[in-house]
C-alpha cells in the first residue's frame, strides 16, 4: 500500500529526487556568453571545480548548459553545443554521484548526454522547438523539465503580450506535459517551470511569481528559475547581474511559500539556506 503521507518524488534515469523539502538545482553554464557565468566554467577542469563547489554547498542536482538562452541570443548549432557539454557530462558523471540535467532544446544533444549518463533533460521550449526530444527521454527513462517560452530566445521579448498570462502559461505547460505523457514519460518524471524572463515583461514576471501556486493544478512539481535575472535588476535599478543575489533570494523564499519545490540558481548555498528556512517557517517544523 503506498503511504499517503509519503513525500512526492521526481524520478530521473536511475535516480529519484525526494521532494520532502525544497531542492536546489545548481547552474553550470559551459558557454562563453551566458548572462552571468558565461566564460567562467567552460572546459572540463573548470567545470569539475564548479561542480565540486556546488556539491559541497548542498546542490541536489546540477544543470549543465551549452547554449545561452538570454534574451536576443541567436543560439548555437548542435555540433558546437555538444562539443561544449558532452565532455563535461562524461567527466562529471565519472567523478560525482549528484544527479545531472542537460539544459538543451535539441534532441541530438539530449540523446548524447543521456547516453553519457545524464539523468534529466531540461527543455526551455517545453517540447515545442524539437518535439522529438521526448524520444531519448522515454528510451532512457529520464526525467523531464518542461518550461514555458512563447518563442525562441532571439525574438521572445517581442512576445510579451498576454491577455491572461497565468492562464496562457498554464495551458501551454499542460500541453507540454500531455505530449510528454502520451509519448511515454511517466508523470512522476515531469516537472514544470513558468519560464521567468522568457517572453515576459516585468509585470508578467511579477504576475506569474505572485500567482505561482496556481501551477499546482498541473499535478507536477514546480521548478523556478529567477536567479539574477533582469527583472530583479529592473526592480532595484541594478544593471549588473552580480548585484542581484539578495533580490534572487527574496524570490526563492516566496517561491517556496507558493509551492516551488525546485530552484534553479547560480548561488547554491545562499539559495539552499534561504529555501530551507522558508520551508521550516512555512510548515512550522524542522525539515525532516
Ligand atoms: N533559465 C535560463 C536557462 N535555462 N531552464 C529552466 N528550466 N528555467 C529557467 O528559468 C532557465 C533555464 C537562463 O539562465 P542562465 O542559464 O543563467 O543564463 P543563459 O541562458 O544566458 O545561459
User: 269 exposed, middle or buried (CB, 10 Å; 0-12, 13-18, 19+)?
Assistant: middle
Q: Catalytic one among 11, 50, 244, 264?
A: 264
Q: What is the pLDDT of residue 6?
A: 84
Q: What is the pLDDT of residue 210?
A: 98
More confident residue, 257 or 151: 257
What is d(CA 109, CA 30) in angstroms, rounded to the nearest whole number? 14
pLDDT at 113 over 60: yes
What is d(CA 19, CA 9) in angstroms, rounded to the nearest whole number? 6
pLDDT at 155 over 90: no
Nearest to 268 by CA among 12, 75, 26, 86: 26
Determine which residue's CA is closest to atom 10 belonging to ligand 1: 225
Q: What is the pLDDT of residue 250?
A: 98
End-to-end CA distance of the chain: 22
- Residues of the chain with pLDDT > 70: what percent? 98
Per residue in 42-94, pLDDT (tens digit) is 889 999 999 999 999 999 999 999 999 998 888 999 999 999 999 999 999 99
Per residue in 173-203, pLDDT (tens digit) is 999 999 999 999 999 999 999 999 999 999 9
- Expressed in angstroms and rounded, the spacing between residue 2 Cα and the centre of ligand 1 is 35
Pairing of strands 9-12, 190-193: unpaired
What is d(CA 283, CA 262) in angstroms, rounded to the nearest whole number? 17
- Which residues make Cβ contacts (< 8 Å) with residue 264, sequence separation at least 6? 25, 27, 63, 193, 223, 224, 225, 227
- Binding-site residues, ligand 1, Cβ < 6 A: 27, 29, 31, 34-36, 65, 68-70, 103, 122, 124, 145, 147, 193, 195-196, 223, 225, 264
User: What does the pLDDT average to over 224-233?
Assistant: 98
pLDDT at 41 over 90: no
pLDDT at 163 over 80: yes
Nearest to 60 by CA among 242, 227, 260, 261: 261
What is d(CA 104, CA 89) in angstroms, rounded to the nearest whole number? 13
What is d(CA 251, CA 248) in angstroms, rounded to the nearest whole number? 5
The conformation of residue 256, written as its DSSP 8-state character, comes to H
Q: What is the pLDDT of residue 4?
A: 60
pLDDT at 157 over 80: yes
Question: Backbone dihedral region of 147: left (phi > 0), alpha (psi from -120 to 50 degrees) or beta?
Answer: beta
pLDDT at 1 over 60: no
User: Nine-digit cell at 114?
Assistant: 543521456
174 catalytic residue (yes or no): no
User: Nine-digit cell at 226?
Assistant: 529567477
Mean residue pLDDT across the chain: 96
- Residues of the chain with pLDDT > 90: what percent? 89
Q: What is the pLDDT of residue 3?
A: 66
Q: Catalytic one among 229, 244, 258, 272?
A: 229
Q: Picking from 9-23, 146-160, 252-266, which range would have the lowest pLDDT averaged per residue? A: 146-160
Nearest to 228 by CA among 243, 214, 207, 250: 243
Collapsing DSSP to helix, strand or coil, 6 comes out as: coil
Which residue's entry shows cell 524542522? 286
Q: Picking from 3-12, 47-56, 136-145, 223-232, which range would have the lowest pLDDT averaged per residue? A: 3-12
Amino acid at each position: 500500500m503506498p503511504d499517503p503521507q509519503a513525500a512526492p518524488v521526481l524520478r530521473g534515469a536511475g535516480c529519484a529526487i525526494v521532494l520532502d523539502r525544497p531542492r536546489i538545482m545548481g547552474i553550470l553554464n559551459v558557454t562563453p556568453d551566458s548572462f552571468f557565468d558565461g566564460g567562467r566554467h567552460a572546459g572540463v577542469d573548470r567545470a569539475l571545480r564548479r561542480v565540486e563547489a556546488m556539491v559541497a554547498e548542498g546542490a541536489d542536482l546540477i544543470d549543465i548548459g551549452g547554449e545561452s538562452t538570454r534574451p536576443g541570443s541567436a543560439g548555437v548549432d548542435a555540433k558546437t553545443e555538444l562539443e561544449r557539454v558532452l565532455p563535461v557530462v562524461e567527466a562529471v558523471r565519472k567523478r560525482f554521484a549528484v544527479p545531472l540535467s542537460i539544459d538543451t532544446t535539441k534532441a541530438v544533444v539530449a540523446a548524447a548526454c543521456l547516453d553519457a549518463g545524464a539523468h534529466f533533460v531540461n527543455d526551455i521550449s517545453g517540447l515545442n522547438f524539437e518535439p522529438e526530444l521526448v524520444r531519448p527521454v522515454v528510451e532512457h527513462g529520464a526525467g523531464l523539465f518542461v518550461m514555458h517560452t512563447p518563442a525562441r530566445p532571439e525574438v521572445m521579448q517581442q512576445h510579451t503580450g498576454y491577455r491572461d498570462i497565468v492562464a496562457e502559461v498554464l495551458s501551454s505547460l499542460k500541453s507540454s506535459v500531455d505530449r510528454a505523457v502520451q509519448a511515454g514519460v511517466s508523470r512522476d518524471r515531469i516537472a514544470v517551470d513558468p519560464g521567468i524572463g522568457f517572453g515576459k515583461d516585468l509585470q508578467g514576471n511579477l504576475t506569474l511569481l505572485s500567482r505561482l501556486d496556481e501551477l499546482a493544478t498541473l499535478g507536477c512539481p514546480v521548478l523556478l528559475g529567477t536567479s539574477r535575472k533582469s527583472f530583479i535588476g529592473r526592480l532595484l535599478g541594478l544593471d549588473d547581474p552580480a548585484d542581484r543575489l539578495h533580490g534572487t533570494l527574496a524570490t526563492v523564499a516566496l517561491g517556496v511559500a507558493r509551492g516551488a519545490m525546485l530552484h534553479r540558481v547560480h548561488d547554491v548555498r545562499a539559495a539552499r539556506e534561504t529555501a530551507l528556512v522558508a520551508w521550516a517557517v512555512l510548515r512550522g517544523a524542522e525539515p525532516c
